[in-house]
Amino acid sequence: MKNENYKQIMRFSFVMIILIILFLALCVMNINTGSVHISTKEILKILFAGPNNTEVDLGNIKIYYNIIWKIRLPRLLGAALLGGALSVSGLLLQTFFRNPIAGPFVLGISSGAKMIVGFVMLILFQYMKSISSLTLVTASFVGSLISMGLVLIFAKKVKNMSVLLIVGIMIGYICSAITNFCITFADELDIANLTNWSLGSFSGMSWSNLKIAAVIIIISFIGSMLISKPISAYQLNEEYARSMGINIKLLRCLLILISSILSATVTAFAGPISFVGIAVPHISKLIVNSSKPIITIPTTFLSGMVFCLLCDLIARTVFAPVELSLSTVTAIFGAPIVISLLVKKQRKI
């Protein structure tokens, strides 16, 4: 037992260290690649100068200072944070539905969020110039809960997970159709904003957005860690969990709530992003070879950060100066993983 435990902890620590190294490497790469190339030495100098610095003499790298602090840094931090959030959201949904293919995108939850955010944007842009990020998050959360509610109603009626998945995808299409319908009748200026956002991108991240996202995500992450013990019992099945004294209703509510908040935050700031929520938790469980939530939740978060940084880097650079939408990149990596999971599951039955 001890030996086994020890091995697991060693493996977990090793994976975490590798992921942190990858994360740091990707941070540097994300900063120094792009239309303007900045050397690592200059990056460090600028980073250590801190934000809003006017005292240190930066000389000819003054322009770089703005590029890094105003554009690339918030974007990369946003990509990392939102990527982690989306992955944990997926993990919680998979726990809830006890199915590895559940995720905020395939169940139509992201699309529901997109629809409501789209509404709010179109309406509010007519009256004011900018919308506070908190309003966006709230709208997105409401949208997520609407979709989630629909999925849950169907989940009660259909026991077959594949059918439920199709229902989720259909809900997603309906929401997208409604969103597109609204776009058709919107002002041209609004459309530019909305289309860009609705394809999924981290380009809209600013420091003020980032602060709000960070607060919400960190609280939710801590929340998910706090319920990791009941989740571990819930993994067997509901009856066993109940027999061990767990308040199932409360746990189910918390799972839904936290995963919805996380995916809503992501959708509010970066639009709907596909497949991250399924692919990352799956890979994470495989690399730590465990499904213990206390191990998988942090691993999934960190892997999500790394995964999204990588995807964002690819989206920005492969066809530069043209930027790909984020979902294009994540789908290429994520969809094959979903297909393989489906095939594996079918074989078992």
Partner 1 sequence: MDKIYLSADSLNVGYSNKTLIKDINFHVKKGEILSLIGPNGSGKSTILKSITKQLETIAGTVYIEGKEFSKISNKNLAKKMAVVLTDKITPEIMTCREVVSIGRYPYTGYFGKLSEKDSIIVDEAIKMVNADEIADKDFNNTSDGQKQRIMLARAICQQPEIIILDEPTSYLDIKFKIELLEILKKMSREKNITIIMSLHEVDLASKISDKIMFVKGDVISKFGSPEDICTTTNINNLYNLNNGTFNINFGSVELSGVKENPKVFILSGNGKGIPIFRYLQKQGIAFYTGLLYENDVDYQLASDLSSEVFSIPAFEDVSTDKLIACKNAILKCDKLINPSIEIKKHNTFQKELIDFAVQNNIIIENWS
Using CB under 8 A, list all residues that contact partner 1: 1-2, 4-5, 100, 226, 228-229, 232-233, 235-237, 239-240, 242-247, 285-286, 289-292, 294, 348
| 190 half-sphere exposure, CB direction, 13 A CA radius | 23
Radius of gyration of the CA atoms of the chain, in A = 21
Q: Please identify, using beta-carbon distances, which residue of 44 and 294 lies nearer to partner 1.
A: 294
For 200, left (φ over 0), alpha (ψ -120 to 50), or beta? Answer: left
What is the residue-wise DSSP string for 229-258? HHHHHHTT-HHHHHHTT--HHHHHHHHHHH
Q: Please identify, using beta-carbon distances, which residue of 9 and 134 lies nearer to partner 1.
A: 9
Q: Please identify, using beta-carbon distances, which residue of 45 and 345 lies nearer to partner 1.
A: 345
Burial track 318-334 (b if 16+ CB lie within 10 A, e otherwise) = eeeeeebbbbebbbebb
Cβ of residue 98: shortest distance to partner 1, in angstroms?
8
> Distance (Å, rounded) from C-alpha 157 to C-alpha 268?
30
Token output for 272: 């709907």
> Distance (Å, rounded) from C-alpha 299 to C-alpha 286?
11
Q: Using omega within 30 degrees of 0 as the cis cutoff, is the peptide bond preceding 272 cis?
A: no
Q: Please identify, using beta-carbon distances, which residue of 5 and 184 lies nearer to partner 1.
A: 5
Position 300, amino acid: T
Q: Please identify, using beta-carbon distances, which residue of 45 and 292 lies nearer to partner 1.
A: 292
Q: Please identify, using beta-carbon distances, which residue of 161 and 212 lies nearer to partner 1.
A: 161
Cβ of residue 9: shortest distance to partner 1, in angstroms?
11
